Amino acid sequence: MVDQRFSVSVHIMTALAYHKGELMTSEELASGIRTNPTVIRRLISKLVEAGLLSSFKGKSGGVKLAKTPKEISLKDVYIAISEKRLIATPDKDPNKNCVVSCSMKKLMCEVVDGMETNSMQYLQSIRLSDLTSRISK
């Protein structure tokens, strides 16, 4: 199954940035994203914990950005909701009779480290304000 938490989290953050400080509920966000409010609440919890969102309880409660859209990068969002690396590296003991098997963990760790470094640099370069400026009105 493909993990969509990052995409949905970026959608949440972009919607909140677009609505410029308005409090939005998980139901409102879920409606726009076309998913269950429970999914949204789980992600919101992680984003609040990371200091990217502020949450307000009660009848007129909701969430809003805790920082300006210009201060929040997609790397911030990714780190807030990710629980593991982009790609898993081999975790099995190598076959001692196979030189390829004995080398794969080191080789793949280098590849994955490079991918992660490049991906994080790219995500750091994109701000929520960049995304909201490209929304068709």
* pTM summary value: 0.87
**Count of structural domains, the chain:** 1
Share of the chain above pLDDT 70, in %: 99
72 dihedral zone (left: phi>0; alpha: psi -120 to 50; beta): beta
- Residue 137 belongs to some domain of the structure: no
Residue 7, pLDDT score: 95
Tell me: the pLDDT tens digits for 58-79?
888 999 999 999 999 999 999 9
Residue range(s) defining the domain that contains residue 58: 5-132
123's CB contacts (< 8 A; 6+ apart) are 73, 74, 75, 77, 78
The length of the chain is: 137
Tell me: the pLDDT tens digits for 94-105?
999 999 999 998
pLDDT one digit per residue (tens) for the chain, 137 residues: 467 999 999 999 999 999 998 999 999 999 999 999 999 999 999 999 999 999 999 888 999 999 999 999 999 999 999 877 777 777 788 999 999 999 998 999 899 999 999 999 999 999 999 999 999 87
Quick one: angle between helices 26-33 and 37-49, nearest 10? 120
Q: At 62, which CATH number?
A: 1.10.10.10
Q: What is the full DSSP assignment across 31-98?
A: HHHTS-HHHHHHHHHHHHHTTSEEEE-STT-EEEESS-GGG-BHHHHHHHH--S-SSPPP-SPP-TT-
- Residue 117 belongs to some domain of the structure: yes
